[in-house]
Structure 1
Amino acid sequence: MPFLTHKTAKENIDIYFEDYGSGKPVILIHGWPLSHRAWEQQVWAIVEAGFRCITYDRRGFGDSTAPWNGYDYSSLASDLHQIITQLELEECTIVGFSMGGGEVVRYLTDYGADKISKAALISSIIPLVPQKDDNPNGVPQKDLEDIMDALETDRVGFLKNFHKNFYNYDDHKDTISESQLHYDWSIASFASPRATIEAAKSWAETDFREELNNVTVPTLIVHGNADNIVPIKTSAEQAAKGISNNTYEIIDNGPHGLNLTHSKQLNKILIDFLKR
């Protein structure tokens, strides 16, 4: 199994990654609470389109090391930096799904765009999740508190139902099977309980609005207008206004997990953007 080691001042963190294809590198950053396996329908398409595709497990998820602390976005972006540095990558496209959009923006904030040629935000939480006076379309604080309470008291029970809303399952039973829901549940259940909660705090609490100015590379923004997990008005619409050099694509009837329900449509949009 391929790992690279991120040696920090406190501990060594082993990051599991997979690396296929050749050409310009595309790094896929998975969402919460899954792993690199969530990108199954994108990896083959990107490789066959002539690109090098790298996926990895966020610390605490999949097969990567699960430290007790270090789930803030700067720590998570430092793992991405190690991947780019240790694999000696240049002219990367970094693609963040959902929570992974935060790593994209924080990486550009902390490390700049020297190694980055493009970025993509897919069903991303960027720039802000919670409802506030100046973010009225965000997720109400009570709903976020209920999620945290459920994760602390019955994590696997919460996760069992989470992905039905993730895919708007009742509307997409023709493309999402019960087996897929069970597969996602098994991946999410075996993530570190501590990582699952601490990472949720990061995506629920971090405000990236001022950091949007640091996204200077051409950026693709893709969001479904039926996303019940990350409302489009608090995420993609604001991101498109705050990132100057962007291509904004709305997938009609797309839920949060449009990487599976609308995989062909997303793949075409993403690969067209990569080839530009």
Structure 2
Amino acid sequence: MPTITTKDGVEIFYKDWGKGQPIVFSHGWPLSSDDWDAQMLFFLNNGFRVIAHDRRGHGRSAQVADGHDMDHYADDLAAVTAHLDLKNAVHVGHSTGGGEVVHYIARHGESRVAKAAILSAVPPLMVQTANNPGGLPKSVFDGLQAQLAANRSQFYRDLPAGPFYGYNGPGAKPSEAVIQNWWRQGMMGGAKAHYDGIVAFSQTDFTEDLKKITVPVLVMHGDDDQIVPYADSAPLSAKLLKNGTLKTYKGFPHGMPTTEAETINADLLAFIRE
């Protein structure tokens, strides 16, 4: 399996398919690069080089105890892009991966980056604070950690079967295969990485990162997102970005890259080709 070893000795698994302008995909918590199947195949068939890695502690990357924070996530992504010597790359991040992309560009600069897109993404800040009154109370994230610690397998069954894909909504048609694939990806990763990752995605404030970015960024978010509520995320991120465009999807759930792949792929392709 293709892997790189980071400067702190962590093996990171990645996929690298095709030739052409590189598109780099950063997945959501607690999944793996497999969550991008619908995008990787689509963009590969449209003449792009597609790259996706498993975040440390997730998927096929090493299940280490430490470094499950945004600084390490961004540095690991930088290590992959440097190893592959990517230039003029488009970075696409979903959910936690959207935070990873934003932090990577702000922390490592734009010399290798052409554009970015963040989908259903966690920035600017998920947790409620004095400066972020519209955020979710910390007790919500403490509850996620408690469920993970008590019965991770059950928790990873309930999340995709319910709010992640909007399968708990009226008239929803849940796909058993999609639910099982989410569970499979989640259970491949390490409990410690996933436990710590909840703090990383909920408590990292990306406000200053967003302000630093000058490349074009497409902010895509469904207004029926039950995981990263719309009002306190996408519109605020788009406003903080120097060159941000907000695209709002009526009724789309958090997991829209999977359930609404056709729409999302077409809009991403149009943005990349602009």
TM-score, with structure 1 as normaliser? 0.95
Q: Which residue of 119, 123, 127 corresponds with 1:126? A: 123
Instruction: Give 3-state SS (helix, strand or coil) of 1:82's partner.
Output: helix
Listed as ranges, the matches of 1:170-249 within 5 Å are 170-171=168-169, 173-174=172-173, 176-249=174-247
Q: Runs (4+) of structure 1 moved beyond 3 Å?
A: 170-174
Aligned position for 1:142: 139
State how far apart, in whole Å, the 1-side matches of 2:25 and 2:114 are: 14
Instruction: Give 3-state SS (helix, strand or coil) of 1:267's partner.
Output: helix
Q: Is 2:46 the counterpart of 1:43? A: no
Aligned position for 1:254: 252
Q: Is the 8 A contact 2:60 2:188 kept in 1?
A: no
Q: Is the 8 A contact 2:141 2:198 kept in 1?
A: no
Aligned position for 1:91: 88
State how far apart, in whole Å, the 2-side matches of 1:64 and 1:247 are: 33
Aligned length: 272
Aligned position for 1:160: 157
What is the aligned-residue RMSD (CA, Å)? 1.3
Instruction: Give 3-state SS (helix, strand or coil) of 1:119's partner.
Output: strand
State how far apart, in whole Å, the 2-side matches of 1:86 and 1:133 are: 41
Instruction: Give 3-state SS (helix, strand or coil) of 1:64's partner.
Output: coil
State how far apart, in whole Å, the 1-side matches of 2:80 and 2:142 are: 33
Aligned position for 1:107: 104
The structural deviation recorded for 1:66 is 1.6
- Letter of the structure 2 residue corresponding to residue 257 of structure 1: G
User: Structure 2: 5+ residue runs without aligned partners?
Assistant: none
- Letter of the structure 2 residue corresponding to residue 201 of structure 1: V
The structural deviation recorded for 1:22 is 1.1
State how far apart, in whole Å, the 2-side matches of 1:239 and 1:104 are: 13
Q: Is 2:55 the counterpart of 1:55? A: no
Q: Is the 8 A contact 1:105 1:214 kept in 2?
A: no
Query: Between the two proteins, what is the percent identity of the paired residues?
Result: 35
Instruction: Give 3-state SS (helix, strand or coil) of 1:221's partner.
Output: strand
Listed as ranges, the matches of 1:69-84 within 5 Å are 69-84=66-81
- Letter of the structure 1 residue corresponding to residue 4 of structure 2: L
Aligned position for 1:5: 5
- Letter of the structure 1 residue corresponding to residue 247 of structure 2: E
Q: Which moved more, 1:198-207 or 1:144-153?
A: 144-153
State how far apart, in whole Å, the 2-side matches of 1:73 and 1:141 are: 18
Q: Is the 8 A contact 1:121 1:221 kept in 2?
A: yes
The structural deviation recorded for 1:137 is 2.2
Instruction: Give 3-state SS (helix, strand or coil) of 1:247's partner.
Output: strand
- Letter of the structure 2 residue corresponding to residue 256 of structure 1: H
Q: Is 2:114 the counterpart of 1:117? A: yes
The structural deviation recorded for 1:49 is 1.6
Instruction: Give 3-state SS (helix, strand or coil) of 1:27's partner.
Output: strand
Aligned position for 1:28: 25
State how far apart, in whole Å, the 1-side matches of 2:126 and 2:202 are: 6
State how far apart, in whole Å, the 2-side matches of 1:5 and 1:36 are: 17
Q: Is the 8 A contact 1:109 1:211 kept in 2?
A: yes
The structural deviation recorded for 1:90 is 0.5
Q: Which moved more, 1:75-84 or 1:155-164?
A: 155-164
TM-score, with structure 2 as normaliser? 0.96
User: Structure 1: 5+ residue runs without aligned partners?
Assistant: none
The structural deviation recorded for 1:261 is 1.4
Q: Which moved more, 1:147-156 or 1:89-98?
A: 147-156
Instruction: Give 3-state SS (helix, strand or coil) of 1:15's partner.
Output: strand
